[in-house]
Amino acid sequence: MKIWSFARHRAFRRCRREYFFRYCMQHQQDCGNPSLSERVASLKRLKSDENWLLSIFRNEIIDLVKFGQKDISLDRLGDMEYRVNSAFSRDFSRFAATLRNCDPSGDCTVALHYAGVESLQTLHASHLGALRTLFAKFAESPFCHSLLSLEYTSMRDFRSPDSFIWENMELLAAPDLIFSSPDGCVKIVSFNAYSPECGGEWDFRNGIYALYAWQKMKTPPERVNTFSVFFRADSELALLPLPYRMPPGESLEKIAGTAKAMQDFENSTVEACIPKPSLCQACISCAFRTLCW
Ligand code: SF4
């Protein structure tokens, strides 16, 4: 059965070469280059720096909601800041050990991997600075209070994606939080490491989450509200929940169209799939750039 996800769709739009490395290569045993396959498998493990920082934050916010905090006091903020910093230090030490030991199976981020051991200090300072900016924005924004004051009868957090079947395809969905309201409505919240101006097709992604609620929770689309929260540190709109979403019919049509394009691409030959492209903005933060430039 074919798997479709928004992450695959975005990679396909961003760069065919990246899409090939990430999603097709392991199925093409005849690509005839075992050392390339090995390098791709190792680079695929690298984390995006922005997503890593966001995940530290995300886990804390989810815990706040899960443990039924109804308000966020200064003490609570202090505890949270401490835990965010601890999680950052713990992860960073792990990444640094991977770099120092040249361990291809260890955890690391794209920026650290490419900057190398000699830049660890600089990257530690800049990433910690970004995390602190994020925390300051979080502490002064009304977002957390509005999230904590939501009325709900049950809540689910998605540490890993769930899926639903549509037209012989498995569609993956991974919103961050889903709240079921006492009035029978559903509120879906997703956190983004980017700003809304980044051309992220957020309405499409929210449309997929609404389909998920329809298929898996039997909640009709008109009773689903979706909220995107943008965490980009330099974005004026960071932490503002913005509700918008694509209608179900349009989302399904778009999924079918992109699934067909991906299928056609995967059926073509390796050489046709990955002609060397020109350097683009996406290359700067791409895990595979050593294979291209
Ligand atoms: S480095 Fe650039 S061209 Fe190469 S896979 Fe990444 S985004 Fe594509």
The CB density around residue 226, as the number of other CB atoms within 10 Å, is: 26
* pLDDT at residue 72 greater than cutoff 70: no
Region(s) of the chain under CATH 3.40.1350: 146-263
Name 5's Cβ contacts closer than 8 Å, sequence gap at least 6. Answer: 161, 171, 172, 173, 174
Distance CA 187, CA 210 (A): 9
Pocket test for ligand 1, best of 36, 285, 292 (most atoms within 8 A of CB): 292
Given a contact cutoff of 8 angstroms between Cβ atoms, the answer to whether 224 and 186 are in contact is yes
| CA of residue 22 to ligand 1 center, whole Å | 11
Q: In this predicted model, what pLDDT tens digit does every residue of 141-191 receive, in sequence order? A: 777 777 777 888 888 888 888 999 998 899 999 999 999 988 889 999 988
Average pLDDT over residues 43-70: 86
Distance CA 17, CA 24 (A): 10
Given a contact cutoff of 8 angstroms between Cβ atoms, the answer to whether 177 and 123 are in contact is no
Local confidence band at 244 (pLDDT 50, 70, 90 cut-offs): confident
* Burial degree of 254 (CB within 10 A; 0-12, 13-18, 19+): middle
CATH architecture of the domain 146-263 equals 3-Layer(aba) Sandwich (3.40)
* pLDDT at residue 101 greater than cutoff 60: yes
Three-state DSSP state, 40: helix
What does the chain come to in residues?
293
Name 269's Cβ contacts closer than 8 Å, sequence gap at least 6. Answer: none
Lowest-pLDDT range, 7-16, 29-38, 96-105, 221-230? 29-38
Given a contact cutoff of 8 angstroms between Cβ atoms, the answer to whether 236 and 197 are in contact is no
Pocket test for ligand 1, best of 10, 15, 114, 280 (most atoms within 8 A of CB): 15
Predicted pLDDT of residue 271: 59
Average pLDDT over residues 18-37: 76
H/E stretch holding 120: helix 120-140
| CA of residue 33 to ligand 1 center, whole Å | 19
| CA of residue 136 to ligand 1 center, whole Å | 34
* pLDDT at residue 237 greater than cutoff 60: no
Predicted pLDDT of residue 269: 60
